[in-house]
Structure 1
Amino acid sequence: MIDWMREQFFIELPNMWGAPDWAIPALTAGALLFLLILYSYRVIKAPLWLKSCCGLLKTFAILLLVATLVEPMRSDLKPTPGANVFVVLADQSQSLQLTDPGQSSSRAEILKASLNREQAWQVRLGQDFEVRRYQFDTQISGVTDFDDYTAEGEGSSIVTTLNSVAERYRNRPTAGMLLFTDGNATDLSAIDFSGNETDWSQFPPVYLVVLGEEKSGKDISVRRVTASQTNFEAAPVTIMAEISATGVAGESVVIELLDEKSNVLKTETVTDVQSDQSFAVRFQVKPEQRGVLFYQVRAFRITEEGVFEKPEKSTEATLLNNSRLVMVNRGQGPYKILYVSGRPNWEFKFLNRALAGDDEIILHALVRIAKREPKFQFREKDSDANRIFTNTDDEKKEQVERYDEPVLLRVGKLNRGELSGGFPKTREELYEYDAVILDDLEAEFFTQDQKTLLQDFVSQRGGGFMMLGGMESFVEGEYHRTPIGEMLPVYLSGVKQSSGYGDFKLELTREGKLEPWIRVRSTEQEEQIRLSDMPLLQTLNPVGALKPAASPLTIIQNTQVESGPALVTQRYGKGRTCALMIGDLWRWKLYQDSPDNEDLEKVWRQTARWLVGEVPQRVQVNSTRKLNNAVQPIEIAINVSDESYLPLDNADIKIEITPPVGEKVTLVASPNEAFSGKYVSNYVSRTPGIYRATVKASNPDGSEINQTETGWISEPVTDEFLSLNPNREFLETIAAKTGGEIVSLNALEEFVRSLPDREIPVVEPEIHSIWHKWSIFLLAVGLLVSEWGLRRWKGLA
């Protein structure tokens, strides 16, 4: 109150004079009257305090009247009527349909009543400013009034709207923006949800009216759902759901996982939920289909089972945030692995058997059943066929392998002529595979070009490579100082020849315990039991030190407490490599107690999936939305490579999009000038639901390269109801950084009256007479009457 009185006093002080020529006569008259008053009270016999009080009262009254001779005036600056723009923005998103506890009207109904143009604050605002009115949800639209206001928008693009308005009136004098909202923006960056990425200093003052109460009643919300895939066979897909519960303390919440046909796959129940608690629920599923799949997570109180079929049973604030969709991309398999071995062995038998039951993997094998002989070798017989054909009907056939060529057995479902020439000699032939496994095969088997080709397959193509510990692998295979040896995660020089490891067991390292594809059991304790029950192994290829980027996942441990690496991996260029130094892993299957134990098969399947898990394909698709706003365009980015996996710049890319409802839409992707082999197209998801897109890439001659799938989800309403409580912190940030403030809905009239006293772009002087006010004369008369009354009270003449 004191500050207000001080402010009012200084506001009314004169800062100019209307009749300065009367200054000297006024001062003269004032001085004479003061002397007359001083003389008259000096001769009166009365107490000093009484004479002083009466004298001061009369002196002030006379001075006040004398001052009117020079006409004291006050010059102030006020907004030039109609010269400044003032913007009124009303949020019309669906979250304003909520009715707060203790209220009989919804937030939207309360807001609409306040936005009536006949309201006093709107009338006063229009007297001083050019008022521009807008309402917005995901888009902004201008209105003359808010009589048709409805809160039916599917989003709340607060930041985008403020940016748009600020840019629209950047060259116009703008006094400020008055924003009515609950602050739950749906266009904030996923990285910075506070809005700090926006440069608010370039905005005019933003004044915010916060709608809604801090407590919104009972509500169960599925805030976030994520899906992660691993090569861990027991749980290839893990779906994590973050649930928040408000106002349901002590109750139980049911969380369901549904497929695209709304079939309930799994159910979890969380009991005794705490007030305002957030908790996570994990589902593990094994999809039976490949490609793009969608799942739904929904939550409800256990006492309201069936509420989604009968929403009228719900006592929550809203059911629109009780479910969310999530996409799982199972890839475009099956993936092809090429296995090359120097001789038939037990390891290949169990590897082939394990992968035969995996629909995601196709295994092609080249198994050498006879070595080649030196080319210039004395021959006793006229036949040039390999010795394996000696004394057989095939010996005289022209198509059999010569004595200086190895005899390879082709295993797997191969096409006619595929791998007929042995190990691939060209990029096009080798790059059709996603991974290569070498076992029990010396380096001399490959030509120098094939060794370099295999190195390029991993580093440039991004393929997977694994070497198994056969008798002619690693050091024994003389891979030292070869392109293949350079890829291995272990050095082949400086090998310490051991006196013999003897019988040994496997142990997981710390890195190995963190890799899902290494584990077979669901818990660490069960994994330890599984390792201890394994039969003793006997064959280990000695190698040198680990390379700097290598990760040892398993080690061997024998009775002499001598340890060494058993399984080591590393990244190599765009691909990954793996070295398994053990040469008799097959003992795990042959000598185990239970013949029904499938641990070895599971290990091989998970290892194969790890090898091909990140191998790039010729056509790779990524669909992203930069902002959380569900109506922002989806950017579909496609990377296309030729048969050598070099960027292909002249491909023809067509995208066939299947929306939730309606007909399919076909788009043509345009080349991205900044990146070779990259194509981009944008699509706006106008209908909530599931979207699928099939990308068809063709060569310039029209031949098809490949087809791949992608998808995305549009859930604008769920994002809108992510939080039911007003985001006051976010709005306070906007107000502080733009020079505005938070305004109460009930104080709008007072706020508008204070606007002329704030910093306004275009102003004009306003002059008013201080002396020409009844309050001045009333004060002077009051002082004189007080002086006369005081004298009469004390009996003075």
Structure 2
Amino acid sequence: MSFFLDASTMEAIRNGQFSFAYGPHPLLAALLFMALPVVVWLLYRKTTRPLTPRWKALLVTLRSLIAMVLLFMLLRPVITTWQVNPQETYLAVLVDDSQSMQIPDLAGQQRRRDVIADELYADNGILAPLSQRYQVRTFAFNSQARRISGADELTAAGNASRLDQALRQVREQLGGLPLSAVVLISDGADNAGADPLTSAREFGAEQVPIFTVGVGQTQIPQDIAITEVSAASTILDNTLFDVQVNLAQRGFAGRSVRLRVMDGETEVASQTVLLGPDGSSRRYELEISPERREPILYELQVDEFDEEIILQNNRYQFLVDNSERPPLNILYVDGHPRNEFKFIRRAAEGDESLRLASYLQTGPGRFYRQGINTSTELSDGFPETAEDLYQYQAIVMGDIDRDFFSDEQLTLLQDFVAERGGGLLVAGMLDDTFADTVLGDILPVTPVRSEVLPTFLQGGIRRGNHATGELFVPRLTSAGEFAALLRLDSDDAVNRRLWGEMPALQGVYVTGRPKPGASVLLEHPILQYQNQAVPVLATQRYGSGRSMALTTASTWRWQMLMPSDDDSHQRIWRQSLRWLAQDAPERVTIDFDRAFYNQGDRVNVSATVLDAGYEPDNNASLYLQRTDPLGDVSDVAMSWDISEDGVYRSQFTADSEGIYRVLVDVASAAGTGIETEKQAAFVVTPSLREYNNAGLDSGMLGRIAEASGGRYYSLPQIQQLVDDIEHSPGAYSMEVQEDLWDKPWLLALLIALMSLDWMARRYRGLS
């Protein structure tokens, strides 16, 4: 029967919209139709001429069909549908115009955008028949929705797909107009973060169905995609950066590809990697060394294969901000001259990112200052005020007696770590009289008095003929293997090998057990206390800062007993000092809400301002100077965020791709030796979000249609949509009953059956 019925009639029948206008109860109607063949069979039991069973069955069938068709017509069959008066209502057509519409994954390697344009605007496109019944408003959408009037306005250039926002904007623009339905043509990929089902339900509540059309393949069959790149300074005097790359692929399992990092036209790093199984994602690492002190925009490139469908995600730009920065200020205090002090100072002097100001006791009442900025720095000994101490980001303590500090200075030291957010390292032997002071609270190990220790652990590193004074090779713990401050090479296996080749140390100071929140990075290979290996290097967070305990004073052996060109000792100490100091907050810090942006994104900038006591300053006056990639400069005032002390915010739109530089000027921080300006940079890169995970999300489109009372169609079914919209219920649809009994096809069927019956009876000589 479907051969004779149009699609809308068949759909009405499937949806239960078919009925008989003159029909009795449905059960009685069914009995009548079932009884007709029985009555006809009874009439053909006796015939004027004998008939074979086959002829009798044929004649019974023909007469039964004729009777059933006549009964069908007499009961007046009707279908109930919905229609709108032509040109009295509106229809919105939303077309995805984001970059994913450039993907050539349709038949004949056609781009999605081109196929959509043909389905809409070609001679047999759907807009022409829809325009005969509705006032059609066509919109293209990506991050925003806009009216279009032709295929040439579909650019597929938007770097975002925001389904919910597109639906909301269309609803606002057509608000108050009699809107019958919405047609949404997209691949269903939404990267706005808002749930489009909310808007779909709102349309459904207003009886405006959304008919969705899916475009593209569910999975891109052949593609290599850069999904994430992160770069952070790690080792080698802050001049090497570890670049971590995530690659996802499908269709190239086990193939080798070349990763390249480009600085303009110059290749600065490369590596050949092996791709994983189809559908998998793997992480790879490269090292780069910036050659100039400024923000540098690098581009990561992956080899392109001829079979690849998407090539845009084989490149990724990222920013490494290698601008000049003030050195980290570190205060070193030691109770007597030691080999450790000499070699630690050498390591720090070779790193321009560090300034080591030292206060060394050379004899009773005699002290020696080095690395000071002014003649008054440390002239009165260890700082006694927060203003003097807080100018440093970290403090290193050597062998110091308890009498060196007053109770007030120890409390100030505790505030330095917990409140100011500085770092503290105690290296060597700790006077056990510190066990009952706040210094014991700060450290990652629990200091105990020597008399509490077993005899074989007493004495510390001063007794060379004691068990605690013997040579030992410290053992890396699992946490130490991956700790940034102990990395000698970015490769894990090489790092373990290099640590195994380090010279032995001599002497360890045994203290109590590590605290519950501490991380032990190095431990003694033999000595134990309370069934736990004696820690050699341990770290922990303390308040806003961090602390470290190094229970040996012989790391200088790593320098003296290694080849002269080996810099392992210097590297470890530089990384450790930077680890201590780098998280200490500055007076002014700048933060962005994202690591990178795409063109057209909103950039949210926040500045945190601290006063001289490193308390939040809510009375500052801030201005943000922005320099875009074209060199244009603009000033924007920053407003205090009343919900966060010391935090000021501003925002603007990133209109151009490239490096943006911002400078925050803080008027209230003016004063001698206090930095009143802070600079930062961020990058606006070409977007990859439209090319990664770019397969058709038919599930999302189906849920949008279902939530609104519409239907989902694949792209080849789009022509069916024209009839379905016309006969779908809506806020402005009228219920219409359409008769079927007078349809030409039904009369033709009746005539054909009667003719066949007449010819069969004439052939057999029946009356």
- TM (norm. structure 1) is 0.78
In the alignment, which residue of structure 2 is the partner of 1:503? 470
In the alignment, which residue of structure 1 is the partner of 2:402? 443
SS of the counterpart of 2:506?
coil
In the alignment, which residue of structure 1 is the partner of 2:287? 284
SS of the counterpart of 1:567?
strand
Q: Which has the larger radius of gyration?
A: 1
The 1-side partners of 2:742 and 2:709 are apart by 37
The one-letter code of the counterpart of 2:719 is E
* Distance apart, 1:210 and its partner CA: 3.7
Are 1:508 and 1:553, in contact at CA under 8 Å, matched by a contact in 2?
A: yes
- TM (norm. structure 2) is 0.81
The 2-side partners of 1:777 and 1:288 are apart by 88
Match of 1:695 among 635, 654, 664: 664
The one-letter code of the counterpart of 1:459 is A
The 2-side partners of 1:247 and 1:529 are apart by 39
The 1-side partners of 2:180 and 2:217 are apart by 29
SS of the counterpart of 2:539?
strand
The one-letter code of the counterpart of 1:133 is T
In the alignment, which residue of structure 2 is the partner of 1:355? 348
**Pairwise CA RMSD:** 4.4
In the alignment, which residue of structure 2 is the partner of 1:346? 339
Matched, 1:92 2:61: no
The 2-side partners of 1:64 and 1:320 are apart by 62
Matched, 1:227 2:227: no
51 and 365 in structure 1: CA distance in 2 versus 1, 3 angstrom threshold: closer
53 and 597 in structure 1: CA distance in 2 versus 1, 3 angstrom threshold: closer
* Distance apart, 1:718 and its partner CA: 4.4
The 2-side partners of 1:54 and 1:230 are apart by 93
Are 1:12 and 1:770, in contact at CA under 8 Å, matched by a contact in 2?
A: no
327 and 200 in structure 1: CA distance in 2 versus 1, 3 angstrom threshold: farther
Matched, 1:512 2:497: no
1:751-790 counterparts in 2 under 5 A?
Answer: 751-775=721-745, 785=755, 788-790=758-760
1:463-478 counterparts in 2 under 5 A?
Answer: 463-470=422-429, 473-475=430-432, 478=433
In the alignment, which residue of structure 2 is the partner of 1:708? 678
SS of the counterpart of 2:666?
strand
SS of the counterpart of 1:408?
strand
Matched, 1:432 2:387: no
The one-letter code of the counterpart of 2:556 is W
Are 1:183 and 1:210, in contact at CA under 8 Å, matched by a contact in 2?
A: yes
In the alignment, which residue of structure 1 is the partner of 2:27? none
* Distance apart, 1:338 and its partner CA: 0.7
Residues 626-676 of structure 1 show CA distances to partners (whole Å, capped at 9, x for unaligned) of 998652201112111111111111222222222222412222222112211
Are 1:222 and 1:244, in contact at CA under 8 Å, matched by a contact in 2?
A: yes
The 2-side partners of 1:234 and 1:370 are apart by 36
632 and 9 in structure 1: CA distance in 2 versus 1, 3 angstrom threshold: closer
* Distance apart, 1:430 and its partner CA: 1.1
Residues 218-270 of structure 1 show CA distances to partners (whole Å, capped at 9, x for unaligned) of 866544322133256598411123446677789864332123x5432123244
In the alignment, which residue of structure 2 is the partner of 1:367? 360
1:108-507 counterparts in 2 under 5 A?
Answer: 108-116=113-121, 119=124, 121-143=126-148, 145-165=149-169, 167-168=171-172, 175-183=180-188, 185=190, 187-189=191-193, 201-202=201-202, 204=204, 205-212=209-216, 221-231=225-235, 236-243=240-247, 253-259=257-263, 261-270=264-273, 280-287=283-290, 292-300=295-303, 320-330=312-322, 332-371=325-364, 406-470=365-429, 473-475=430-432, 478-493=433-448, 495-499=452-456, 500-501=466-467, 502-505=469-472, 506-507=474-475
In the alignment, which residue of structure 1 is the partner of 2:29? none
* Distance apart, 1:355 and its partner CA: 0.4
The 2-side partners of 1:236 and 1:219 are apart by 31
The 1-side partners of 2:339 and 2:71 are apart by 121
* Distance apart, 1:424 and its partner CA: 1.4
16 and 639 in structure 1: CA distance in 2 versus 1, 3 angstrom threshold: same
Is 689-698 or 515-524 further displaced after alignment?
A: 515-524
* Distance apart, 1:78 and its partner CA: 0.8
Are 2:226 and 2:315, in contact at CA under 8 Å, matched by a contact in 1?
A: yes
* Distance apart, 1:293 and its partner CA: 3.5
Match of 2:589 among 617, 620, 624: 620
Are 2:84 and 2:732, in contact at CA under 8 Å, matched by a contact in 1?
A: yes
* Distance apart, 1:425 and its partner CA: 1.6
The 2-side partners of 1:578 and 1:115 are apart by 68
Are 2:599 and 2:656, in contact at CA under 8 Å, matched by a contact in 1?
A: no
622 and 525 in structure 1: CA distance in 2 versus 1, 3 angstrom threshold: closer
Is 408-417 or 481-490 further displaced after alignment?
A: 408-417
The 2-side partners of 1:37 and 1:439 are apart by 115
The one-letter code of the counterpart of 1:463 is G
Residues 444-501 of structure 1 show CA distances to partners (whole Å, capped at 9, x for unaligned) of 322222111110111111100011124xx241xx112212221111222364043332
Matched, 1:545 2:549: no
* Distance apart, 1:684 and its partner CA: 1.2
SS of the counterpart of 1:113?
helix
In the alignment, which residue of structure 1 is the partner of 2:461? none
Are 2:669 and 2:675, in contact at CA under 8 Å, matched by a contact in 1?
A: no
542 and 108 in structure 1: CA distance in 2 versus 1, 3 angstrom threshold: closer
* Distance apart, 1:177 and its partner CA: 3.0
Are 1:200 and 1:734, in contact at CA under 8 Å, matched by a contact in 2?
A: yes
* Distance apart, 1:360 and its partner CA: 0.7
Match of 1:74 among 78, 97, 103: 78
The 2-side partners of 1:197 and 1:65 are apart by 49
Q: Which runs of 5+ in 2 are unaligned?
A: 25-36, 457-465
262 and 443 in structure 1: CA distance in 2 versus 1, 3 angstrom threshold: farther
SS of the counterpart of 2:108?
coil
Are 2:235 and 2:571, in contact at CA under 8 Å, matched by a contact in 1?
A: no
SS of the counterpart of 2:153?
coil
The 2-side partners of 1:12 and 1:554 are apart by 78
SS of the counterpart of 1:297?
strand
* Distance apart, 1:435 and its partner CA: 0.4
The number of aligned residues is: 724
The 1-side partners of 2:528 and 2:328 are apart by 42
